Amino acid sequence: MKKTRKGTALITFVALTAMLSACTPGGGAPAESKNGTAAGGADKKVELRMTWWGAQARHDATLKVIELFEKKYPNIKINGEYMGSDGYFDKLNTQIAGGNAPDLIQLGNNYPDYVARGALLDINPYIGKEIHIENFDKSNIDSGGMDGKLYGIILGSNAYGIAYNTELIKKSGLKPPSGQWTWEEYGKYAQDLTKALGKGYYGAVDESKLPLYLNYFARQSNKTLYKDGKVGLDKDVIAYWFTMWDNYRKAGSTPPAEFTTAYTEAPENSSFVEGKTAMHLIWSNQLNAYQKAMKDEIQVVLPPTGGSGAQQGLWLQPSQFMSVNAKTKNPKEAAMFIDFMVNDPEATMVLGSERGVPGSSKVREALKAKATPVDKKVYDYIDLAAKNSRTPDREIPNGKEFETTLINMSQKVLFGKETIPNASQEVLSAAEKVVNKK
């Protein structure tokens, strides 16, 4: 049959329309490729940078998860940038200021500081698509949000606990601590350990420089570092804190100044790991790293309370969040990795509870079923801590500046270079300065 020019044009138009409908919105979803990317986009090479802090155990596990992700999505490459906690935020702040921050950023409860700088992406548009949160408790998800926007997905929950070296306790001849103790009883027990263990050994690490431990202490008298946009504690609470630790040192419950300042007390440089101190405050998610670093078995009990009539100081702490750089060029792929990190069965099994007890109930159940003896201790302790906790407070803004002042003042008190009243005023002034900072 002879084709007319009009008929040929009509056939061409219909064919062109069909082609366009397959690749424009409303024309049907594109097919999925075998590696999980949309057909036609599988060859698009995407490179992301990801930064986190932690001990070697965390580095190894995270790198393994990146490797698993890259196998599943071979078009996406993730370059890890990791280090210990010291200097992490200084480096990150420099990168953000220079417009060169990584695409994926591990943050703690200081993430509001970075929201205020416009450094983080609202990931709400990716929820239910690239990121699935149906198995997360609402409170876990809410912990990463502000003002109706979501800036991070929780990687786990932790709680403070007193870790103790079981072998040193046996050597001392004392009964293991039960965790049912006041600050006075804690100090006396540590003093008894020091005496029983002999020269070169101490009952407990000096923890006076830790801001969140000060906050734990303050909460027992219904105070807090930060509440309703204001500093929530006073000079008397800080002075009590410094005085208590000064009394511990004088009693021999904790080591002298030169000994204390020789250690960071991170697993890589710790008197507790070296078996020179018997008790050390840790986050529950650090139990694996400490246990891997030392041969003696560790147990964990609740930290000291304020005694009869005191408020509960403990809280369940969101350990870290994985956030996305507001300037990333590949937000969808960054969101895909976050989902993989918190939901993929193989990935979550690799990560375990190192960053804290996972937010997904489905993941928690899977991990419990295959828990190592150390992981089981973590889960058991979180269950115990949950029964002895109350709602957490928002962390103090611009917290690094305040932390530096507390560290400096605690060391000056430690070496007798500053009086407790003056040091307490300096710490309070630093808190007020950062809270009022615009």
Has residue 22 got a pLDDT over 50? no
Q: What is the mean pLDDT of the chain?
A: 89
Q: Assign domain 46-155+319-386 to its CATH superfamily.
A: Periplasmic binding protein-like II (3.40.190.10)
Torsion sign (Cα): 94, 100, 105, 110: positive
- Quote the tokens at residue 174: 């004392």
pLDDT tens-digit readout, 172-212: 999 999 999 999 999 999 999 999 999 999 999 999 999 99
Domain locations in the chain as residue ranges: 46-155+319-386, 158-316+391-436
Confidence label for 34 from pLDDT (cuts 50, 70 and 90):
very low
d(CA 321, CA 338): 10
Tell me the average pLDDT across 225-232: 92
pLDDT tens-digit readout, 338-388: 999 999 999 999 999 889 889 898 998 899 888 999 989 998 998 899 889
Has residue 81 got a pLDDT over 80? yes
d(CA 169, CA 311): 30
Has residue 217 got a pLDDT over 90? yes
**Cβ(342)–Cβ(108) under 8 Å?**
no
| pLDDT score for 354 | 86
Has residue 438 got a pLDDT over 70? no
pLDDT tens-digit readout, 256-292: 999 999 999 999 999 999 999 999 999 998 999 999 9
| pLDDT score for 49 | 98
| pLDDT score for 13 | 38
| pLDDT score for 75 | 97
Confidence label for 6 from pLDDT (cuts 50, 70 and 90):
very low
- Lowest-pLDDT range of 2-6, 46-50, 130-134, 181-185: 2-6
| pLDDT score for 42 | 52
Has residue 426 got a pLDDT over 90? yes
Has residue 134 got a pLDDT over 60? yes
Tell me the average pLDDT across 295-324: 95
CATH of domain 158-316+391-436: 3.40.190.10
Tell me the average pLDDT across 76-103: 96
Tell me the average pLDDT across 302-308: 96
| pLDDT score for 30 | 33
| pLDDT score for 32 | 37
| pLDDT score for 43 | 65
Confidence label for 395 from pLDDT (cuts 50, 70 and 90):
confident
Counting beta carbons within 10 angstroms of the beta carbon of residue 185, is it exposed (0 to 12), middle (13 to 18) or buried (19 or more)?
Answer: middle
Q: What is the CA radius of gyration of the chain?
A: 26
**Could you tell me which of 286, 247, 244 has the C-alpha nearest to residue 268?**
286
Of residues 142 and 28, which shows the higher confidence score? 142
Confidence label for 44 from pLDDT (cuts 50, 70 and 90):
confident
Has residue 20 got a pLDDT over 80? no
Do 158-316+391-436 and 46-155+319-386 fall under one CATH topology? yes
The DSSP bridge pattern shows strands 46-53 and 104-107 to be: parallel
| pLDDT score for 403 | 95
CA 332 to chain centre: 24
Amino acid at 381: Y
Tracing tokens 């020789």 back to the chain, one arrives at: 262
